[in-house]
Structure 1
Amino acid sequence: MSKETLYLSYSEYLRNNYGEKVYKLPVKLNLTCPNRDNNISVGGCIFCNEKGGSFENLDISLTVKEQILKNKEYIGNKYNAKKFIVYFQNFSNTYMDFEKFKKIINECNMEDIVAIDISTRPDCIYDIQLEYLENFSNETNIDIIFELGLQTANYHTLKILNRGHGISEFVLACKKIKERNFKICTHVIIGLPWDNELDIIETAKLISVLDNDEVKIHSLYIPKNTKLEKMYENKEIELITLDKYVEYVVLFLRYLKKDIAIQRLVGRMPKEDSVFCNWGTSWWKIRDKIENTLEENNFRQGDLCNHLDGISII
C-alpha cells in the first residue's frame, strides 16, 4: 500500500491543484498578536515564544518583495521549482492596519506565485480584508489560504493554553473564509496533556464538518522561555509517550475527511530553541511509524469519518 492510499499528502494535493510540485516561500513580518499586546492578554499562548512560531525565515529587515525574491531564487535553483506559495508565518498576519495589509499583499503579485498563505488567529478574520483579498484573487488568479491555529476542540484546554478564544470563534472564521471561496488549513496539537481520545476525535470531526482543505499536525514540543517550559520543569504536566502520539495521530486521521490534505504529521523545531521536541528522535522516523501503523492495520484517512451524512436510516 503506497503512502498516497493511506492519507492525502500535501505534495500530492498541490500537484493535483497546480499540475506540478509547489514550494512555500516563508516571509516574516514585523508584527505581534492580540494575545501578546494586551488587547486580549499578555505573554501569548503558553507555548509561544518571542519568535512567534517562525524558525526558518529571513531577516525581518528585508521587505516582503525582497524576501520572496531571495527565497524564490534559492528554492527555485535547488529544486528546479517553478510555482510558489508565499507563506506569512509568524504571529498573527492579519492583525495590522488595513493599508499595511494591502501593501504586503500587493507585493506578492509576481510571476510564479500561485497562492498566498496567511497564518493567523480565528478571532483575527476581518471582513474588510476578506473583501480586498477576494478582489485581489479574482484579478490576479492567485489563491488565498488561511492557516488558523485551533490546536484542539477542547475549549477547557484552550483556556489552559491561554489561547484567548473558544470554538465559536473558529467556527465563525471558517464560515467567513469559506463564503469567499478561500482555502483553510487548521493547525492542531496532538498530545496536549489535558486532551484524551474523545478530544482527538472531536477535533478531527470539527475540522471535517467545517469543510477545511488542509490540516497541519504538530506534536507538543516545548520552546524555551515560555510558560509551558516552566510547567514542564515544575512537573505540572505529563507528556504522552511516542507510541501514544502515533496512536493518537492515526485515530485523528481515521476520523478526518479523506479529501483534507495533510501538510505534516509531526512538528519540529531547532534543538537550541526547545527543552523537549519529538522524544529526541527525528521527525521522519515518527512519520514512518505513523505510516507503518496505518499500513499494518489496513487503516486509512477517513475510514471512520461516517458523521457527515447523518445516522443511517437503514
Structure 2
Amino acid sequence: YLDILADIRDRFHKDIYIELGLQTVNYDTLEKINRGHDLAQFIDAVLRIKRYGFNVTTHMIVNLPWDTMKDTIEGARILSALGVDQVKLHALYIVKNTLMAKWYQEGQFTLISAEEYADRVVNFIRHLHPDIVLQRLVGRAPKDNTLFTNWSMGWWRVQDLIDDKLDELDAHQGDLCDYLNGKAVRKFID
C-alpha cells in the first residue's frame, strides 16, 4: 500500500497524509479497548510511513478510563520522538450498543471531569514538540448515538477550559519539551 501511495504522490505531485488512531500509549488500555495493535506496532507503522516521506497524523484520546496523566504525557513524548506531523485530540465518546457502553452503564469505570480533561490536554500540549501541528483539541459526536460526549456541554466550552488553563499557567506548546536529543545522557558528556 505504501508503494502504491508513493506512486500516486510522485505521479500526481500530491502531499499524502496518513492518519493513525493510536488513542493511548498504555498497553493495557489498548488491549482493553480492542484496538487491534500494541504500541510497538504503532511505532513500527510510523517509522515505515516516515521512510516513504509521508506525513503522519495521530489520533489520541487523553481521557480513557484506565489511563493516567503519566500516560498522557508519555503519549506526547513518544509522538514527539517519532516526529509525527500532526495530532488530533478528542475526549472519549461512549457510543451506544458497544461493549464500552455496557461497561459504562454497569458502572465498571468512571470518567474524569472536564476540568481534569483540560489539565491533561494542557500537559499533552506542553510536552508535545512545537513543530507538531495540533489539528484538534476537542471533537464532537452525534448526541443521539452516544451515552457520553464532552460532559454534555458544547465542544467550545471544553475548548474554553483548555484555553483558560493555558492562560493561567502562561503555558504554550512545547514549553516542557526538553527530553529529546539525548537529555538522559547529556550529564555524561558535559
Shared topology, TM-score over 0.5?
yes
Partner of 2:58: 186
The residue aligned with 1:103 is: none
Q: Any idea what SS the aligned residue of 2:60 has?
A: strand
Q: How does 1:271-282 map to 2 (within 5 A)?
A: 271-282=143-154
| SS of alignment partner, residue 142 of structure 1 | coil
One of 219, 224, 227 as aligned partner of 2:96? 224
| Residue 168 (structure 1) aligns with | 40
Candidates 150, 165, 187, aligned match of 1:293: 165
CA RMSD of aligned residues (A): 1.0
1:150 and 2:22 correspond: yes
3-state SS of 2:179 partner: coil
Q: Look up the equivalent residue of 2:101 and give its one-letter code.
A: E
- Matches of 1:224 and 1:233, distance apart in 2: 10
Q: Which runs of 5+ in 2 are unaligned?
A: none
**Residue type matched to 2:179 in 1?**
H
After the TM superposition, which parts of structure 1 deviate over 6 Å for at least 4 consecutive aligned residues? none
Do structure 1's residue 247 and structure 2's residue 122 form an aligned pair? Answer: no
Higher relative contact order (CA 8 A, sep 6+): 2
TM-score (ref. length: structure 2)? 0.95
- Quick check: which one's helix share is greater? 2
Aligned residues: 186
Aligned to 2:13: 141
Tell me how far apart the structure 2 counterparts of residues 141 and 294 of structure 1 sit (CA, whole Å): 39
Q: Residues of 1 paired with 2:152 and 2:75: CA distance?
A: 27
Q: Does 1:212 align with 2:51?
A: no
Q: Name the counterpart of 1:196.
A: 68
> Post-superposition shift, 1:285?
1.3
Letter in 2 for 1:245: Y
Provide the identity percentage.
44
| Aligned with 1:263 (options 117, 135, 146) | 135
TM-score normalized with structure 1 length: 0.58
- Among 105, 120, 130, the alignment partner of 2:2 is 130
Separation (CA, whole Å) in 1 of partners of 2:121 and 2:14: 32
The whole-number CA distance in structure 1 between the counterparts of 2:9 and 2:36 is 30
Q: Which secondary structure does the structure 2 equivalent of 1:193 belong to?
A: coil
Larger radius of gyration: 1
Which amino acid in the other structure matches residue 229 of structure 1? Answer: A
Query: Offset at 1:136?
Result: 1.1
